[in-house]
Amino acid sequence: MNCFFCEKICPTGAIEADFEAVAQIFSRRAKHILAPVLAKAEAEGRFRRLIPLDKVGWDTPHYKVYSRHPRYIIPED
């Protein structure tokens, strides 16, 4: 499935994933496929940006921002 959620919630970092390769693929896809689609939708009034395109942070994927384990904490109810 390639969700890597197990790595994100692992409390000790015992599960590792190679996020660099995946991030490069997703970044290219986002910049060259998704961004133009969203720009067209924005021009047509079907999409409203909450973050300006130049502030998106293409070079700061989650694994660099959240480098400590666990990356995600699931709150208990």
Q: How far apart are CA 17 and CA 4, in angstroms?
A: 7
Confidence of residue 23 (pLDDT cuts 50, 70, 90): confident
Confidence of residue 1 (pLDDT cuts 50, 70, 90): low
Q: Are 8 and 70 in contact (CB under 8 A)?
A: yes
pLDDT at 20 over 80: yes
pLDDT in the model for residue 77: 76
Q: Is-above-0.85 flag for pTM?
A: no
Tokens standing for 4? 């890597």
Instruction: Compute how many other C-beta atoms are within 10 angstroms of the C-beta atom of residue 65.
Output: 9
Q: How far apart are CA 35 and CA 75, in angstroms?
A: 33
